[in-house]
Amino acid sequence: AAVARAAAAAASPPSGKFLLRYFNGRGVVEGTRVMLALAGEDYEDFRYPISWKVPDDMSTVQREEFLADRAAGKMEVSMGMVPILEAGDFKLPQSKAIDRYVAARFGFMGSTLEEGAWVDALAEHLRDINDAFGKKGTMFMKDKEKKKELEDAWFGEELPALLKKLEAALPSSTEGFAVGDKVSLADVLIFRLLKDSAPDRDASSFAAGCPKLLAIAEHVAGLEPVMKWMSTRPQTST
């Protein structure tokens, strides 16, 4: 019964300042952070420390504060995981739900119902692309030679082919925007993929032949709130 009451309260309207609970990394919430920066929203960027006794060996991960909070019941609404977006009794789990909620709340879901549907569709296209790379398992791969081989194939052949398909799917005819004529969640996610997910890779190379995508990524990267966030956020490897 107590769990049911907590779940019901979690759907209450937000009150007070937002808190975004996640690990100290960009990960699956950086798009949300970028939108909050664009909105000028004052929020608490709560980051659990995370480290490894042996680099890239998940069996040696250290995250004591996260485990303590989970044991204390702070993550019941998220089934023991992060991220969670919180404000008063309001608690929202799942990174994609958080993305869409923040986008809808702060005006990043287009100007019409149809534009909002297209923002959603492009977000799913981008999820498919990110998932395809994630399935390769390179993040914590111990075989460095194999990791390089897989990543070179991804950025050299597989990702460029997928980006050309994404380029062809873009509905907007306005340069610098994926949907309509204002910044949306889709633009932010395109920026993340091209400019912020693999800083050591050159988007002009793996996104060659995709001028619309490059223009969108450059537009978002050049917005003052984004530039400020990029220069002041905690520097992490992922």
pLDDT digits 0-9 by tens, 57-110 = 777 888 999 999 999 999 999 999 999 999 999 999 999 999 999 999 999 999
Question: Is pLDDT of 5 > 70?
Answer: no
Per-residue confidence (pLDDT) for residue 98, from 0 to 100:
98
Per-residue confidence (pLDDT) for residue 53, from 0 to 100:
82
Averaged pLDDT, 15-19: 92
Question: Is pLDDT of 1 > 70?
Answer: no
Q: For residues 233 and 129, give the distance between their C-alpha atoms in angstroms, rounded to a whole number.
A: 26
- Are 169 and 180 a contacting pair, CB within 8 Å? no
Architecture of the CATH domain 113-232:
Up-down Bundle (1.20)
Q: Which fold has domain 2-106?
A: Glutaredoxin (3.40.30)
Domain extents in the chain: 2-106, 113-232
Averaged pLDDT, 178-192: 98
Question: Is pLDDT of 227 > 80?
Answer: yes
pLDDT band at 231 (very low <50, low <70, confident <90, very high): very high
For 111-137, b/e burial (b = at least 16 CB within 10 A) is eeeebbebbbebbebbeebeeebeeee
Specify the pTM. Answer: 0.92
Q: For residues 132 and 151, give the distance between their C-alpha atoms in angstroms, rounded to a whole number.
A: 12
Per-residue confidence (pLDDT) for residue 9, from 0 to 100:
64
pLDDT band at 127 (very low <50, low <70, confident <90, very high): very high
